[in-house]
Structure 1
Amino acid sequence: MGDQFLVVGGDAAGMSAASKAKRDAPETDVIVFERSNWVSFGACGLPYYVKGEIAKLEDLVVMEPRRFVEERGIDLRRNHEVTAVDPDAREVTVETDDGHYRESYDELLLATGGQARLPDVPGVDLDGIFPIRSLEAGRALRNYVAHHEERPARGIGSTSARELRSHLDEADPEVVAVVGANKIGIELAEAFLARDLEVHLFDSGPRVLRSFGADIAEMVEDHLAEGGVELHLDSPVERFRGSDGTITMVETADDRVAVDAVAVDVGVDPEVELAEDASIELGPTGAVATDEYGRTSAPDVFAAGDCAEKRELLTGDPILWPFALAANRAGRAVGRTVAGQPAAVGGVVRTLVMKAFDLQVARSGIVDHDEARAAGFDPVSALITSITRAHYYPGWSRMVVHATADAESGRFLGANMVAEEGTAHRINSVATAVTAGMTVDEVGALDFGYAPPFGPVWDPVLGVSKVLEAKLE
């Protein structure tokens, strides 16, 4: 590898790449530029911080910045924003509070992440509307809805005007809207209810969690409604209205709901401005296009994390998948490659697990028939209701599993599942089967562990495989 490896972005992909490159090639100068003061944090924990289950924002930090410097020998430069990349000159331009300078590179990683997408409707710039992606956005939202439990500290890094709202001292919300019935949106709805707020959940689609299928989604919808969430489905937001610059109402084609705050979860857009300005190729998803090793169209420039495309293993298509494990894995692979041991960044089968009040909801692979046919499969599905423990062991609950296979090859394509317990570890067996290209027969023959407190003799994954097997005969 070269003498100097530069990393733009100090979260999952960036710090994983920097750490692995420095570990495998200690003689290399590894420099990380992070435009904020935060590095290596778990943004997926923000709903639980807003709820109050996590006491301090700093608890979401995975590793203290000083440890990267003192223990790993990484030159970590926080509050340094890379504003331009010049692939021909092999250098970047860096802005700081003291001015700007240029830094040369032998290899460069763009790990610029993604930003929360906002609805393209009037009024989206009003105070009291929170796109949750950064730690500072999470702090601002918690301050807004929790009577200012934790004031913003000084010296915490770059903070946008949208993130630290100007009317915190006057805010005393009673009604909150969530726009986007997705993972973070549903977890935030629970957080708001725990703070005794009235919660309205809006989504443009006919059901929550669209990628989970109708059977699973309906169970989650019923559970949300029972928990106190007012659902507004098939209700795209058309306008946000406000007074004195602050949100007061969410407006759809059929309804107008007075609110005091809005949290938004309608997707993540990859941060690709640096790449675009440097004429680095973007893929069909709008994220940076890379090869199997994370290389971009520019020589010795890599991209990883939420700014880069992922490959869906079942279809082979490039997709956006802004989740932590994929970012960490891709960053680590780039670090190995830069250190002289080429490693593929790998693909995804879109495994996801989440909490919806007392329910655990999980998915992996392809279950939807239209999606399966578009990928060239002939789908056959099975839907079963099982239990999470032996029937005689106290505390069991019902588990619904919906799985799909390919009729021609017998390949197990994926499953969705929901229960009060047990989905978080079971979905990993599904992910393993889908990634390995296993058939339904092979999945049904797996030697799962069994004990009454953890499951029935015929685990729900084995059970749904048996039903699929019968349908394929």
Structure 2
Amino acid sequence: MTDPFVVVGADAAGLSAASKFRREAPDREVVVFEKGRWISYAYCGMPYFIEGRVERMSNLLSLSPSEVDERGIDLRRGHEVVAVDPDAKTVAVETADGDSVEQAYDDLLVATGGRASIGSFDVRGLDGSFTLHDMDAAAAIDAYIAEPDAYDSDRADVSAVDRDRVDRNAAMPAPETGAIVGGGYVGVEMAEALSGRGLDVHLFHRSGHLLSDFGEAVGERVATELEAKGVTVHTNAPVEELVGDDRIEGIAFGGADGPETLPVDLAIVGVGIRPNTELLDGTGVETGEGGAIRTDEYGRTSLPDVYAAGDCATAIHAVTGEEAWMPLGLTANRAGRAVGATVAGDPSPVGDIAGTAAVKAFDMEAARVGLTEDEAAREAGFDPVRETVTAGSRSGYYPGAAPTDVTLVADRDTGRLIGGSIVGPDRAAIRIDTLATALEADMTVPEVERLDLAYAPPFSPVWDPILVAAKVLNGTLDET
């Protein structure tokens, strides 16, 4: 086989691209380099593994190396691409054994994902402090939480796991108090996970409400749910330092009454991620928001025959029409598949993104899409108008009906829906898909109000909460 398609990164975007390419272009070579040993794993499932809802780490794997091999993909684990020469069309690779090799490419996909941002906190060398952005970290946290004589090593049942790291953490005394730095997706999900493992949990967030991108109504209800389940939520409480010499001993944070220190014996830092783009240093590749690699509608970068997809790449925002960087699972899988098809000869757009996301906090569900914050909407050129309503999730007389808060944001001049969020305990999150579809279709609020959504008492009242919110927002627009 000739004309190699080289892929850097063997997770969501990379293997989706390689698999699609192999099916569409069986006569061309496809080589996938992965610097580590883990491939094709469910990052979003790691909190549920730590909590114990997922019994085995292997349950989080989508593809095994042998299954990748059966697809005719040349997968090379333990091979880190450290540089790209776009003129020679080669990549420089360093192996786990210390060897250096060079690989030519006809087309190249950079699907290197992202890594946890630690801000000013250095968790390295401080036992009991972690970030959560890979499977080895998840295995180590799981082992650290367990009592040494009760840890089930079979839970980390994948050969790729860093067994020395797991064994070392499993031998340490089990923690009693855990602190989570950052009230985003990871923070909220890990608060539930650690609470489920019996820890006294404290969640710290520097701004006034959790899940900042979801809006205030969502953040407040999620915080109330966490508090009701025993999690102590600290908002407007920026963490200043992880305290400890060899093992974490405390969290120093700014409280309402001045600096405080909370004794803890576990800390998880979840303050965001950064795109992995260092292999393109010196190539002149264009970058965009967050330092991610700038791509066009087909995933092409500014370098010839070089594509990027997943958490390291930008995409076009469905509402603003401008580039955006929103590292999410579907975005990576969809973009990788599209790039694979394009490289094989079937030009396929990677698709717009709207930041559609959902999160669970015990019995509370929350979701968001589009532009939910007024500042972001104004920066994009809109004049935002918003309304938040509370409506029943089912017919009031049907068991299980629960209050659902829906916030819709529209542009004052055009009436176009530009964003929304939902929170509630009864199938609230899945309703966000209606709003995501409406955003993709550039629908106005009156058009959303006229949607023919399904009604049956077990599933929705006659007026679905989304329709109620659209009706109220439409009235507000009429008054302005």
After TM superposition, the score normalised by the length of structure 2 is 0.93
Query: Deviations along 1:291-350, whole A, 9 cap, x unmatched?
Result: 221111221111111011122221233322111000011111111110111112122111
After superposing the two structures, state which structure 1 stretch, 443-452 or 52-61, moved more: 443-452
Conserved 8 A contact 1:83-1:93? yes
Q: Distance in 1 between matches of 2:125 and 2:219?
A: 31
- Higher mean displacement: 7-16 or 419-428: 419-428
Query: Residue type of the partner of 1:27?
Result: D
Q: Give me the whole-angstrom Cα distance separating, in 2, the residues matched to 1:141 and 1:201.
A: 17
Task: State which of 318, 321, 328 in structure 2 corresponds to 1:313.
Answer: 318
Q: What are the equivalent positions in structure 2 for 1:44-59 lying under 5 Å apart?
A: 44-59=44-59
Change (3 A) 1:165 1:239: farther
Question: Partners in 2 of 1:24 and 1:308 — Cα distance?
Answer: 24
Distance 1:125 1:97, change over 3 A: closer
- The equivalent residue for 2:7 is 7
Counterpart residue number, 1:302: 307
Match of 1:201 in 2: 203
After TM superposition, the structure 1 = structure 2 runs for residues 402-421 of structure 1, keeping only pairs within 5 Å, are: 402-421=407-426
TM-score (norm 1): 0.95
User: Which of 202, 212, 235 pairs up with 2:237?
Assistant: 235
Report 1:74-473 matches (<5 A): 74-98=73-97, 99-121=99-121, 125-147=125-147, 148-150=151-153, 156-157=159-160, 159=162, 166-243=168-245, 245-253=246-254, 254-473=259-478
Q: Using the alignment, how far apart are the partners of 2:296 and 2:161 within structure 1?
A: 32
State the AA in 1 paired with 2:472.
V
Q: Which moved more, 1:324-333 or 1:213-222?
A: 213-222
Structure 1, unaligned runs of 5 or more = none
Paired with 1:471 and 1:104, the residues of 2 have a C-alpha distance of 60
Q: CA deviation at 1:227?
A: 1.1
Q: 1:430 to 1:154 in 2, by over 3 A?
A: closer
Change (3 A) 1:405 1:398: same
CA distance in 2, matches of 1:312, 1:261: 38
Q: Give the stretch that moved more between structures: 294-303 or 366-375.
A: 366-375
Q: Is the contact between residue 93 and residue 103 of structure 1 (CA under 8 Å) also seen in structure 2?
A: yes
Q: Which amino acid aligns with 1:412?
A: L
1:92 and 1:111 mapped to 2: Cα distance?
Answer: 14
Please state whether the residue corresponding to 1:394 is helix, strand or coil: coil
Distance 1:160 1:340 in 2: 43
User: Helix, strand or coil: the match of 2:313?
Assistant: coil
CA contact (8 A) 1:411 1:440 kept: yes
Q: Distance in 2 between matches of 1:223 and 1:100?
A: 53
**How far apart are the structure 1 equivalents of 2:310 and 2:274?**
12
CA contact (8 A) 1:242 1:249 kept: yes
Number of residues of Structure 1 aligned to a counterpart in Structure 2: 470
- RMSD over equivalenced CA pairs, Å: 2.0
1:93 positional shift: 2.0
Cα distance in structure 1, aligned partners of 2:96 and 2:142: 28
Q: Deviations over 1:88-141 (max 9, x none)?
A: 221112222442321111001010000011031467641211110101110011
Aligned to 1:417, the other structure's residue is in SS state: strand
Mapped partners of 2:22, 2:272: distance in 1: 33
- SS in structure 2 at match of 1:38: coil
Q: Distance in 2 between matches of 1:31 and 1:82?
A: 12
Pair 90,164 (structure 1): closer, same or farther in 2 beyond 3 Å: farther
Deviation, structure 1 residue 444 = 1.2
Is contact 2:275–2:290 with CA below 8 Å preserved after alignment? no
- In the superposition, relative to structure 1, how do residues 321 and 69 fare at CA in structure 2: closer, same or farther (>3 Å)? same
Q: Structure 2 CA distance, aligned partners of 1:122 and 1:342?
A: 43
**One-letter identity of the residue aligned with 2:345:** G
Cα distance, 1:267–1:97 mapped onto 2, change above 3 Å: closer
How far 1:83 sits from its partner (Å)?
Answer: 2.1
In 2, Cα distance between the equivalents of 1:207 and 1:154? 38
Paired AA for residue 133 in structure 2: R
Q: Partners in 1 of 2:140 and 2:225 — Cα distance?
A: 28
The CA deviation at 1:285 is 2.2
Instruction: Give the distance between the partners of 1:359 and 1:154, measured in 2 at CA.
Output: 31
Q: Is the 8 A contact 2:360 2:366 kept in 1?
A: yes
* C-alpha displacement of 1:62: 1.2
| Contact 1:143-1:151 within 8 A present in 2 as well | no
8 Å CA contact 1:2–1:107 kept in 2: the answer is no
Q: Deviations over 1:123-172 (max 9, x none)?
A: 764121111010111001111112333269698448599x6584541231
Shifted more, 180-189 versus 225-234: the winner is: 225-234
Report SS of the residue matched to 2:456: coil
Q: Distance in 2 between matches of 1:97 and 1:292?
A: 35
3-state secondary structure, aligned to 1:221: helix
CA distance in 2, matches of 1:154, 1:323: 26
Moved more, 229-238 or 42-51: 229-238
Residue 398 of structure 1: how far off its partner (Å):
0.8
Alignment check: 8 A CA contact 2:83 2:281 kept: no
Summarize the Cα distance change of 1:142–1:304 in structure 2 as closer, same or farther, 3 Å threshold: same
Preserved contact between residue 127 and residue 165 of structure 1 (Cα < 8 Å): no
Cα distance in 2 for residues equivalent to 1:123 and 1:132: 11
- Give the Cα separation in 2 of the matches to 1:164 and 1:265: 20
SS of the equivalent of 1:211 reads helix
Sort the Cα spacing of 1:2 and 1:300 in 2 relative to 1 into closer, same or farther, 3 A: farther
Query: Match for 1:328: what amino acid?
Result: N
Give the 3-state SS of the residue equivalent to 1:384 in structure 2: strand
The answer for the alignment partner of 1:34 in structure 2 is 34
Q: Conserved in 2, the CA contact under 8 Å of 1:178 and 1:201?
A: yes
